[in-house]
Amino acid sequence: MNKGNNVVSGNDLTVWINNEIWDDTKLAEYKLTGEFEDVTFLGDPRTYKKYLGFGGEGTLTLNKMHSRGASILAEAFKTGVFPDIKIVVKIANKSTGKAERAILTGVVFSEFGSSTEAKAVATEELPFTFSDYEMLELL
């Protein structure tokens, strides 16, 4: 068996925003980062860590086909009222039939705009944070 076939590819990624597939997605990344406090004790030279919680952040980069960021954020930035947003990210492996699927909730997009240059495809980058997640499938 070719082990290379077991490696997932971005070509098999699907992104849903509030149950709508965003087929203009070029790049999707998210990560969770643990928050820890240093703990020390008199007479002990070691530093320990106390887990305090986590934070989630990510970025969607889109091929510019729609005004995705503006449609979500233009009014929200003016009024301070932000919509509830849920992101589902699924990357599948056609060779094995397995997938990794995560639901990110409490999503807040923090900026919008676009990037355009001569003889290049225009893109839109949407950085975000999220407050909760659920792993529905694992590879």
Convert the pLDDT of each residue in 54-73 to its tens digit: 999 999 998 888 888 888 88
Domains contained in the chain, number:
1
Q: What is the pLDDT of residue 31?
A: 95
The predicted-structure confidence for 75-132, as pLDDT tens digits, reads as follows 898 899 999 999 999 988 877 788 889 999 999 999 888 778 888 888 889 999 999 9
The CATH number assigned to the domain holding 99 equals: 2.30.110.20
Q: What is the mean pLDDT of residues 30-45?
A: 96
What is the distance between the alpha carbons of residues 116 and 6, in angstroms, rounded to a whole number?
36
pTM > 0.75: yes or no? yes
What is the distance between the alpha carbons of residues 87 and 136, in angstroms, rounded to a whole number?
13
Q: What is the mean pLDDT of residues 45-51?
A: 97
What is the distance between the alpha carbons of residues 22 and 13, in angstroms, rounded to a whole number?
11
Q: What is the pLDDT of residue 92?
A: 82
Angle, CA 95 vertex, CA 9 and CA 92 arms, to 5°: 45
User: Domain range holding 18?
Assistant: 3-137
Q: What is the pLDDT of residue 71?
A: 83
